[in-house]
Chains A and B, each alone.
Chain A
Amino acid sequence: SQTIHQWPATLVQPVGSPLSLECTVEGTSNPNLYWYRQAAGRGLQLLFYSVGIGQISSEVPQNLSASRPQDRQFILSSKKLLLSDSGFYLCAWSKGNGYTFGSGTRLTVV
């Protein structure tokens, strides 16, 4: 069966510090991968999606970047965090019918 792992679960980082959130998928190959952000518990904003290794599409200009170094690994990064980067970050994968979400990372930038 397919599983998706996302870590860490919570993170408190100072403004200006770097960020690295990791997401891995098991039990499938060549999935579409997605990073979402949810602010204030409402609405999901698609940040990045990837249809294959090294292929990243950015949905909104921002302080973040994404990489897909391996087929089932998706990384969300920032060189310098802003206060506005705080939120709940969700990784998801899809292949065919349906999307499965990771457990999420709550990021607080202080």
Chain B
Amino acid sequence: ELKVEQNPLFLSMQEGKNYTIYCNYSTTSDRLYWYRQDPGKSLESLFVLLSNGAVKQEGRLMASLDTKARLSTLHITAAVHDLSATYFCAVDQNAGNNRKLIWGLGTSLAVNP
């Protein structure tokens, strides 16, 4: 059974600092997703990582995927308050036509002035 572990679960950081969120998963998968959720809101797609070594960047966020290590990272560069949110990674479990996501518990990020 596919399991997804995120760490840390809670992260408080100062503006301008860098930090990395880690996402480990237990079995092979061909797709990994990162989502952002603001309080009381739905999920916003950040990145879709499809292959080993994939790296994607959007603004101060950069995501990477190492399928051999079953590890994805979400790196935050020079954090700003607007990045405060909960970040989820999710891994596609594909069983024939029944593709579904297995989720990490999320990382609650607070960026403080």
Q: Do A and B make up one complex?
A: yes
B-binding residues in A (CB < 8 A): 32, 34, 41-44, 46, 49, 51, 57, 90, 94, 97-104, 106
What are 30 A-B contacts defined by CB distance under 8 Å? A32-B99, A34-B100, A34-B101, A42-B105, A42-B106, A43-B105, A44-B88, A44-B101, A44-B103, A46-B100, A49-B98, A51-B97, A51-B98, A57-B98, A90-B43, A94-B99, A97-B31, A97-B48, A97-B50, A98-B45, A98-B48, A99-B33, A99-B90, A99-B101, A100-B45, A101-B43, A103-B41, A103-B42, A104-B41, A106-B40
Is B39 part of the binding interface, using a Cβ–Cβ cutoff of 8 Å?
yes
| A contact patch SS | strand
Is B86 part of the binding interface, using a Cβ–Cβ cutoff of 8 Å?
yes
> Which residue of chain B has the shortest Cβ distance to A104 in the bound complex?
B42
Q: A97-B48, A98-B45 given as contacts; is B106 within 8 A of A43 (CB)?
A: yes
